[in-house]
Structure 1
Amino acid sequence: MADALEMFFDDRADEAVRALWRRLEESGVSSLPTRTHRRHRPHVSLAVAGTIPSRTRAALRGDLALLSIPALWLYTLGTFPTEQNGLFLGAVVDTELIAVHSAVHDTLASKVKHPSAYYLPGAWVPHCSLAQDIPAEQLVTGFAALHPVEPIRAEVVEIGVTDTRTGEVDVLLSRQDFGKKC
């Protein structure tokens, strides 16, 4: 599988996303893929690669600590046009979010194996997954169960590398570390 660099939300936003997951489940749509099981937390991924080595994680920790990490507005209910149907809440893209994303990929450049093209600058669609790998009829049911969605303001409280095989998170930074000069 892969390592994913993810931004995790404050309690209020986390619970709001979990409430959407419950609404999906109540409508008969599986909100979580089986591979992420119970450790899955609401998040927005900045990057995904085959591996993010420990030296690269240390560099990310230092670089991210220098940045101002913006709050996210999760606002758009959407789906990707692929054979692996899914629902997501898209994050509003602003210059601050793009700056963080660009800085991450500057640090990762040539230091990770097998980066996912979906998360590279110019292709990245910042989003919080609500359901993945669902049949087309569940996509329609899920969309109807969630629409309209109230915007969720998500403060980023942690940034970490998640091992997508196990769900284990290596926390690189917590809220108190954001914007500190090293």
Structure 2
Amino acid sequence: MSQGYAIELYFDPALENQVLKAWNVLARRQISTQLIEIEARPHITLLSSPSLEPLKLEGVVRAFAARQEPVPLSFFAVGSFPVDNNVLFLAPKANMALLQLHSQLCDAMRKEGVDVGEEFRPESWTPYCTVAQDVPKTRMAEGFCVLRDLKLPVTGYGVDIGLVEFPPVREVFSYVLGNPVEG
């Protein structure tokens, strides 16, 4: 049974590989392997909800993606949230293109009657790319040190938007940004 759905922004292959490199270093050091084990894909979560309707949203997301251009991304910092599951992430510069993409997606979802939760509303959303989760508290500092050794910033583009169901992570659909909708 699904616990939820998320609409995610995926990266170009070079940027995705940079993030995967971080995942692999953390896994080799036995700091965190969960993202690899659940077969997640590097991403920025644009919206998440326990009750999205994939069939209802597929056409909306496809049309939305067709109207967008790839989004420039620059991950410049390492961070963590003060939550129990000890997440480490890469933080992108919140440029206008990324903020507009997110805001326009939220508007499109609201028009479809989707409740955009508080943490994903444009005025409170924090973009980030998870690189480790469920890190033992005693290993958080080491995780930060490993990530700090990345040659930041790492840059690239957000090029696809997809809907995933979790757990386990399963991509329901994804669409390339700027790819015209076929009639």
Gaps of 5+ in 1: none
Matched-pair contact (CA < 8 Å) for 2:5–2:48: yes
* 1:1-182 correspondence to structure 2 within 5 Å: 1-33=3-35, 37-53=37-53, 54-109=55-110, 111-112=113-114, 115-150=116-151, 151-175=153-177, 177=179
Secondary structure of 2:71 counterpart: coil
Aligned CA RMSD, in angstroms, stands at 2.3
Matched-pair contact (CA < 8 Å) for 1:69–1:100: no
What TM-score results when the alignment is normalised by the length of structure 1? 0.86
**1:65 deviation in Å?**
1.6
Secondary structure of 2:22 counterpart: helix
Aligned residues: 178
**1:63 deviation in Å?**
2.3
Identical aligned pairs, as a percentage? Answer: 24
AA in 2 matched with 1:43: H
Task: Give CA deviations for 1:60-92 in whole Å, capped at 9, x if unaligned.
Answer: 221232122312111210001222211000111
Secondary structure of 1:63 counterpart: helix
What TM-score results when the alignment is normalised by the length of structure 2? 0.86
Gaps of 5+ in 2: none
- Separation in 2 of the partners of 1:166 and 1:136? 24
**1:57 deviation in Å?**
2.9
Secondary structure of 2:50 counterpart: strand
**1:48 deviation in Å?**
0.4
AA in 2 matched with 1:140: A
Residue 15 and residue 43 in structure 1: after superposition, are their counterparts in 2 closer, same or farther (change >3 A)?
Answer: same
